[in-house]
Structures are given as C-alpha cells and as structure tokens.
Amino acid sequence: MRKSISAETIKLVTISAFGAVLLSGCSGEPEESEPEALTINGAVFTVINDALAYGEMAGADDANSPLVDGGPCIAAAGYDDISEGVQVTIRDSKGEIVGVGALSGGIQTGSEGYTNADSVFFDLPICAFSFSIEAPAGLGFYSVSVGNENRGEVTFEESELLDEIKIEIGG
C-alpha cells in the first residue's frame, strides 16, 4: 500500500527547509569584516637652524629673542624635506603601502646637548613634527618613511606602535 503525501506535509517540509537555510547563516561563526585599524602616532625630531634659534623666523616678536619651548619652528638647513605637509608612508613587511599621512607644523621641544669634534659642548634646539596615521592592525612589522628617499625607513614591531614613536633625524 502506497501512502500519499498531503499538501500540508509538503508546506511544512518546505517551511522547515527554508528555516534551516536561514538559520545556517546565523551559525554563530563571526562574519569576516574589515581588519581592525591601528592608529600610529609619532613625531620626527630634528635640530633647528641656529639663525632660527634667535627668532629670525616669520612671526617672531624680537629678532634677538630665542624661540620659546612649545612655539613654532622649522628644521635646520639640510633638513628641508622635513616640514609641515611632508608625506609620511607606512609599509607592511612586504613593502606594500598600508597608510599615508603628513607631518604637522614643527613645535620646539627643548634642546639636546652635543659635544663636537673639539670637545666643545653646546645645546641645539629641537623641532618636533608630529603625525597620526591609520593602518590595518595585525601585520606584525611596519616601516615608516618620511622626507626624501635617502632618509630610508625605520621598522617597528606592532607592539612598539602602541606608544608614540620617535624618529630622530640629524643632530
């Protein structure tokens, strides 16, 4: 004896199958999404031109007054490629560009003591140019380049990028 399937049974099987398909999309597995972003904050430090240390830059009140810590500054001659708006490039370990930003205007951040070849000690005022760039997290190593191509790049582990990075040029 052969059993017949009712129309109601077919509807119930169809609805059950459709529900199973819908639920399979909600399996609890995380959906693939955009990689997390890593904000790379840093600054490039370089010396200030001696002439500028005596206030000879635009906007100085008195040409005989030194620059004020926290005031605007520009890099010394020979560091013309380090200035406001200069591109900062972040690359992954394969050399692929993963982030691009620009330097902010320079801010004097104190001075550094140096001893020259004649053992004469002197202070050079330091100018800092900051940057903040978004890059994908989880890449392991990141290389940062700024200024002309002869300056090369500095490589950091991702864990080092959790704090502000410092790149010193010249001095």
Reported as a single tens digit per residue, the pLDDT across 137-156 is 999 999 999 988 888 899 99
- Is residue 50 classed as helix, strand or coil in its secondary structure? helix
Is 29 a member of any domain? no
Is 22 a member of any domain? no
- Is residue 3 classed as helix, strand or coil in its secondary structure? coil
Q: Smallest Cα–Cα separation from 125: which of 114, 141, 137?
A: 114
Residue-range definition of the domain harbouring residue 112: 37-168
Is 12 a member of any domain? no
For residue range 81-129, what is the model confidence (pLDDT) as tens digits? 999 999 999 999 999 999 999 999 998 887 666 555 666 565 677 889 9
Q: Fill in the amino acid letter for 2.
A: R
Query: Quick one: pLDDT at residue 103?
Result: 97
pLDDT above 80 (res 33):
no
- Element spanning 52, H or E: helix 50-53
Structurally, the chain folds into a number of domains equal to 1
pTM of the model: 0.67
Query: Quick one: pLDDT at residue 13?
Result: 41
Q: What share of the chain is helix, strand, coil (3-state, %, to 5)?
A: 20, 40, 45
Is 30 a member of any domain? no
Region 33-62 average pLDDT: 68
Is 3 a member of any domain? no
Is 66 a member of any domain? yes
Cβ atoms of 121 and 82 within 8 Å: the answer is no
Query: Quick one: pLDDT at residue 134?
Result: 97
